[in-house]
Amino acid sequence: MPGHGLAGLGRVGPVGPALVGAAFISSSAVIMRLAGTAAGTTAFYRCALALPGLAVLAFFEQRRSGPRVFKERARAAVAGGFLGVDLVLWTHSIYDVGAGVSTVLGNLQVVFVVFVTWAFFRERPRSGFLAALPVVVLGVVLVAGLLGKAGTGYHPLAGVLYGMGTSVTYAAFLLVLRGSTKTSSHVAGPLADATAGAAFAALALGAALGELSFAPPLSAFGWLLLTAFASQTVGWLLITWSLPRLPAALSSLLLLFQPAVSLVMAAVVLSQRPTALQWAGALLVCGGVLAAARSARAPAVTPTEEPGLI
């Protein structure tokens, strides 16, 4: 269980910190779009700029809770590698289908977590999970604008493919990270190690794709610094601490809260207003994912215990 580093939050309970964390993370896609930098640059700086603060928190956490096993730290860094790839793909999705819609697509990670545990750990989900899948698929088709007219400059099919890639790599990140922290009381330490792994992966992938710049415009740097602080540091720390302390039903509701807030923020800040069909698709995706998560048999990795947040 996440522990002593954020022990002071125990006095206010997990619900408030979870909602605040989800609100911070909900801003990710909008801020990353405002930065306007290439996908590799965005992903790298989001992680690299968060590292100093997380390292300091991890240092004090270790002094209080004791050192972490090297094997756990290595697993957290490997998990971060998946997160780095995820962030590059997600940035592409943000540009192709919009900040709000890309966040809705990112929540499909819950479905992929269940499929992975089914394929590799023989943990068969309940029939309700399988029944919810057609609803989710229809929602993806609608929310991405594959039916009807897509907005100018949008690429619905590419956005869906990037969004699916985001969900797959994010599911891998969650599974590996949870395996590295299930016996640990640390919060900041695993997040710092994962963020370091993500920065390295984003650096390598961004360079390979020709999408990496070490001299982004000053205005873009400010937005990248903001997302590093708001999402990768504050939001993730609060979510990581809160979710294991919440009932599964309340954890599931966070899957709806974050994409809903992102859609509203994208409409207000970026004037990215989804069509009626896309709003309907968003409801189907969120509702279907929620139903799938709550219908899945509680396996070694329970989807509703993991953040459906990026």
Is residue 7 in a domain? no
Going 242 to 247 to 248 to 252, the CA torsion angle's sign is: negative
- Residue 55 within a domain: yes
Indicate the number of domains in the chain.
Answer: 1
In 3D, which of 151, 93, 142 has the Cα closest to residue 278?
Answer: 142
Classify residue 2: in a domain, yes or no.
Answer: no
pLDDT digits (tens, 9 = 90+) for 198-240: 999 999 999 999 999 999 999 999 999 999 999 999 998 988 7
Residue 119 belongs to some domain of the structure: yes
Quick one: pLDDT band at residue 4, thresholds 50, 70, 90?
very low
CA distance 127 to 13: 34
Q: Let me know if residue 5 belongs to a domain.
A: no
Sign of CA dihedral 21, 112, 161, 264: negative
Q: What is the DSSP string of 130-159?
A: HHHHHHHHHHHHHHTTSSSPPPTT--HHHH
106: burial class by Cβ within 10 Å (0-12, 13-18, 19+)?
A: buried
299 has a pLDDT exceeding 50: no
Q: Is 106 within the bounds of a domain? A: yes
pTM reported for the whole predicted model: 0.84
Q: What is the CB neighbour count within 10 angstroms for residue 56?
A: 12
Q: Is residue 149 part of a domain?
A: yes
Residue 248 has pLDDT above 80, yes or no: no
Task: Tell whether 88 is covered by a domain.
Answer: yes
Domain that holds residue 70: 13-305
In tens, the pLDDT along 117-136 reads 777 777 777 777 778 878 88
Tell me the per-residue pLDDT of 145-204, one tens digit each, with 9 for 90 and over: 777 665 545 788 898 899 889 989 988 888 888 776 666 778 889 999 999 999 999 999
Q: Which of 67-81, 109-123, 211-225, 263-277 has the lowest mean pLDDT?
A: 109-123
Q: Helix, strand, coil % (nearest 5) of the chain?
A: 75, 0, 25
